[in-house]
Structure 1
Amino acid sequence: AEQVRANAETYFEQFFRIVDRDLTEVHYQTEWFDKFDLGDAIKLLSHKTVAQMLERDDFSNRYKSGTEIYLSEFMYPLLQGYDSVMLHSDVEIGGTDQTFNLLVGRELQPIFGQPSQQILTVQLIVGLDGYKKMGKSLSNYIAMTAPAHDMFGKLMSLPDHAMMSYFETLTDLPLAELTELRRKMDEGSLNPRDVKLRMAREIVNEFHDATAAREAKEAFIRQFSERKLPTDIPDYRLSEPTNIITLMVDAKLATSKSEARRNVQQGGVSFFPGGETGAAERVSDVNFTVPVLDGAILKVGKLHYLRIKA
């Protein structure tokens, strides 16, 4: 229970960047499912047939292809629908992949003497690869709580073809303006890079503020267009020569030694022994030892840096 609440706090931190905390009422499912017994479960299951469950595209396709469907999977939409009943929900919002589950809640409510909720579905956005659904497990996501410059840089790495879906789902730009941007890019009179800069600034402004968005844009242009290093590189105290893999993990430039090793082997790590004024040296050996050079800079990927302080 403690771990669940700790995880919930991370969701709240993201959720309340969009929704006003003072106007929000939070409920935990334990309020009703702690008292939910086998009799309640059987009664809930009696409100849906297997045929109705197979109307869901995912279940239908798996059934036709002979892929196994577990009974527990049928239970999940019903439990989610029961949440709507217990909350006396008027409107439920979810991604387009949740349409079936939202409709289950809408169908259950009249059985329990309530008016059916309205449902509102929103388009899912692809991750930074431009094709797969954004998700932490695929490492193609941008954290809603990411610092402005990090968010801006990751948005700029998005493939051009995915830009418009980000504009449509994450900004308030009018559809007419988006149509004009698309037309100009198609005819070649507008550089997609300029449109992407606009997209990144608009989105960072939504999750941070106008000042942070402007500064992130300026830092990005300075770093990537003018080939200059960032001005806000964090310091890292190094007291003795340290293996590159160990340093990356300790400095949180990688979440694990295997990730650090992969970054090195794929050519994603550079060392600037002379700091801003010196040339970069590509680190390709996982046994490389980082020397104690005051002012030297380590770069991992396109966005992460640290400055060594002796």
Structure 2
Amino acid sequence: MALYTQGVQDIIPVEELETKVLKSVLENRPLKIKLGLDPSAPDVHLGHTVVLKKLRQFQDNGHIIQLLIGDFTGKIGDPTGKSVARKALTDEEVKHNAETYFKQFGKVMNMEKVELYYNSEWLSKLNFEDVIQLAGKITVARLMERDDFEERIALGKPISLHEFFYPLMQGYDSVVLECDIELGGTDQHFNILMGRHFQEKFGKEKQVAMLMPLLEGLDGVEKMSKSKKNYIGIDENPQEMYGKAMSIPDELMNKYFELVTDFTFDQIEAIKKEINSNELHPRDAKMLLGKTIVTMYHGTAAAEKAEQQFISVFQKGAVPDEITVVEWKGKLEIPVLELLVDINLLSSKSEARRMIENKGVKINGEKIEDTGLLVPITEGLVVQIGKRKFVKIKM
């Protein structure tokens, strides 16, 4: 129970989890642990691994992991946290995104021991009478408890009738799979409780809801998200992954060690104690975290190399050994704003101007402060943006 509850934000209800675990041990019967996936965003980052790591803990103890791809519900789109209805996905998009998930999940879990389901297997077979009967098992008032629905009504934004059916379908998934526990982020609170509701209505044992905290991204404020550009992707190269880890805010160190590393329960508690007592310096804690994360997804050798490059580049001011090379076929002298855009370091001249004004641009190690500078293009010219972006010119 200490292992299963570590890092969990909410368990509904915790007494039922204890009972299920106890019965599982006494009866030598594995529990069924469900995770539903909306295959609309297949790029997995550390925020996603918070739930995957918890699944792996159950898996390591012999329990059954049920990965459910919402290929049917994905065509409708989960309204959770959305101020407008989501764009429906095509069959091809769902299939492609699901395959991408599986490949990346294999870095966290043993995918050979996972039961895989697509909810179109049963939802597509329901006739209209079945749907009406399903809808009759829940009240409109209960559905209106969703924060996002309340918000949209308050703002006068439309809600289509089909969006009310998303939580119904997710709840029915739990009825079909007869799962004991469903995992998800805290933003899935309403949807996961629908599983308990419908299992009870169909006369089945109710699942326990285990809600994992949402991991804040590198900005320390918003939840980790690719769209917010505050993420660490598990497919990113070792140097980028390590460098990003070093920019995690100090106050999030405990949370990251607990939620995304593969340290044992006792090791995590010891690290947190050292951080809280200032025995472990924040910089050293981040270096340990960065090295651990890179090791998990790229191996020990890659982690050692990433750490040495970080020390060389960011602590000693050197240029990294591995650097993007751009073949130059343009003018031999060019305004600096054009150069930064032409070599794809920045997307626009206005963005380039802001970066120079904020002292974030270097050429051959020299900080650039003149936005009107004409840059002579020479073989081996190194252009740097911020701390991690480098480009070398090849004539």
Query: Would you call these one fold, judging by a TM-score over 0.5?
Result: yes
**Quick one: distance in 1 between partners of 2:180 and 2:95?**
26
Match of 1:270 in 2: 362
Q: 1:291 to 1:176 in 2, by over 3 A?
A: same
Please state how far the C-alpha of 1:17 moved relative to its aligned partner.
1.8
**Quick one: distance in 2 between partners of 1:36 and 1:270?**
62
Asked if the contact 2:238/2:298 (under 8 Å) is kept, the reply is: yes
**Quick one: distance in 1 between partners of 2:194 and 2:244?**
37
The one-letter code of the counterpart of 1:307 is K
Is 1:96 aligned to 2:181, yes or no? no
Between 1:187-196 and 1:152-161, the stretch displaced more is: 187-196
The SS at the match of 2:118 is: coil
Runs of 5+ unmatched residues, structure 1: 273-278
1:148-206: per-residue Cα shift (whole Å, max 9, x none)? Answer: 11011111101100111100001133455444444444444432111111111112222
Counterpart selection for 1:51 from 141, 152, 159? 141
TM-score (norm 1): 0.81
Is 1:282 aligned to 2:368, yes or no? yes
Is 1:20 aligned to 2:79, yes or no? no
Q: 1:9 to 1:191 in 2, by over 3 A?
A: same
**Quick one: distance in 1 between partners of 2:117 and 2:279?**
51
**Aligned residue pairs: how many?**
301
The SS at the match of 2:109 is: coil
Asked if the contact 2:314/2:387 (under 8 Å) is kept, the reply is: no
**Quick one: distance in 1 between partners of 2:215 and 2:104?**
17
Q: 1:51 to 1:220 in 2, by over 3 A?
A: same
Match of 2:81 in 1: none
Match of 2:394 in 1: 309
Between 1:247-256 and 1:73-82, the stretch displaced more is: 247-256
The SS at the match of 2:132 is: helix
**Quick one: distance in 2 between partners of 1:89 and 1:68?**
38
The one-letter code of the counterpart of 1:297 is V
Asked if the contact 1:239/1:292 (under 8 Å) is kept, the reply is: no
Asked if the contact 2:123/2:169 (under 8 Å) is kept, the reply is: no
The SS at the match of 1:144 is: coil
Asked if the contact 1:235/1:306 (under 8 Å) is kept, the reply is: yes
Asked if the contact 2:382/2:392 (under 8 Å) is kept, the reply is: yes
Is 1:116 aligned to 2:206, yes or no? yes
Asked if the contact 1:269/1:284 (under 8 Å) is kept, the reply is: no
Asked if the contact 2:262/2:296 (under 8 Å) is kept, the reply is: no
Please state how far the C-alpha of 1:307 moved relative to its aligned partner.
1.2
**Quick one: distance in 1 between partners of 2:266 and 2:137?**
45
The aligned runs of 1:85-164 (5 Å cut-off) are: 85-112=175-202, 114-164=204-254
Please state how far the C-alpha of 1:62 moved relative to its aligned partner.
4.5
**Quick one: distance in 1 between partners of 2:343 and 2:168?**
45
Match of 1:211 in 2: 301
Please state how far the C-alpha of 1:52 moved relative to its aligned partner.
2.6
Between 1:194-203 and 1:15-24, the stretch displaced more is: 15-24
Is 1:165 aligned to 2:255, yes or no? yes
The one-letter code of the counterpart of 1:309 is K
Match of 1:233 in 2: 323
Aligned-residue Cα RMSD (Å) equals 3.3
The SS at the match of 1:120 is: strand
1:226-258: per-residue Cα shift (whole Å, max 9, x none)? Answer: 121211113221122366666656655456777
**Quick one: distance in 2 between partners of 1:251 and 1:86?**
53
Match of 1:293 in 2: 378
Match of 2:97 in 1: 7
**Quick one: distance in 2 between partners of 1:204 and 1:147?**
9
Q: 1:120 to 1:189 in 2, by over 3 A?
A: closer
TM-score (norm 2): 0.65
**Quick one: distance in 1 between partners of 2:216 and 2:391?**
30
